[in-house]
Amino acid sequence: MKKLALMVVGVMFVGSIVAMAQEEAAVPAAPAVVGAAPIQPGVKVKIPHVVYGNCEDEGEQMFIPSGWMGSYDAIEFDDCWKENPRSGESCIKVVFSDPRGWGGIAWQNPANNWGDEEGGVDLTGAKKLTFWARGDKGGEMVEFKMGIIPRNKPYFDTGKGSVGRVKLEKEWKKFEIPLEGKDLSRIMTGFVFSVKGRSEPVVFYLDDIIYE
Ligand SMILES: [Ca+2]
């Protein structure tokens, strides 16, 4: 069982490197090939669509924070953190404690899908992805994005967006990834963060991740 889990993590890691390399290259998407098979859309949801609000909402979640990347064993993830949530009773607390590595989590549909299985969510109509974040001390650097499954995968993300790497403050602050004009008909990875390690553990909080 443990061996299987490690194999899955290995595949995830390779997938994330490919996704990062593609993003850094910033090559414009190739024009659609005439006669290519139409893209199968994801499950249609109403907008606004809440990716995360409170841990009690878990039964309704479309996107699952299952895609652990990089130094995944240095990530602690608690989506029922009760101290100082931005809304309701809970928020997400993340601790990353590999000083030399990087780590991240992708929210996937279904869980553990890196684009090889059918899935995805149709978020057509959303104009932005908003979320709230704060750092434990202030000054934490974290990158946020969505749509990281590249087009060479059978079930790729039809659209992607990012706020880049941002500096968090000690107080809750709202961030926004603009989505107007993007094809949101099949979003496989609804939310992604990645963080580089520092000499001390990087601790930050997230709440109210919403397509609106
Ligand atoms: Ca909350």
CA of 148 to the centre of ligand 1 (A): 25
Nearest by Cα to 113 from 195, 22, 42, 21: 42
* CB atoms near residue 107 (< 10 Å): 23
pLDDT for 62 equals 95
CA of 1 to the centre of ligand 1 (A): 34
Q: Where are the domains of the chain?
A: 63-211
Nearest by Cα to 169 from 196, 136, 191, 199: 136
CA of 134 to the centre of ligand 1 (A): 13
CA of 84 to the centre of ligand 1 (A): 9
Nearest by Cα to 190 from 42, 40, 74, 54: 42
pLDDT for 189 equals 98
pLDDT for 60 equals 72
CA of 207 to the centre of ligand 1 (A): 5
Cα–Cα distance for residue pair 58/47, rounded to 1 Å:
18
pLDDT for 57 equals 79
Q: What are phi and psi of 35, to 5 degrees?
A: 90, 0
pLDDT for 29 equals 55
pTM of the model: 0.83
Beta strands in the chain (DSSP E): 43-44, 49-52, 64-70, 75-81, 91-96, 102-108, 121-122, 128-135, 141-146, 161-167, 173-178, 189-196, 202-211
CA of 55 to the centre of ligand 1 (A): 8
pLDDT tens digits in sequence order for the chain, 212 residues long = 344 444 444 444 444 444 444 444 445 555 555 556 688 999 999 999 999 999 987 567 899 999 999 999 999 999 999 999 999 999 999 999 999 999 999 999 999 999 999 999 999 999 999 999 999 999 999 999 999 999 999 999 999 999 999 999 999 999 999 999 999 999 999 999 999 999 999 999 999 999 99
- In CATH, the architecture of 63-211 is Sandwich (2.60)
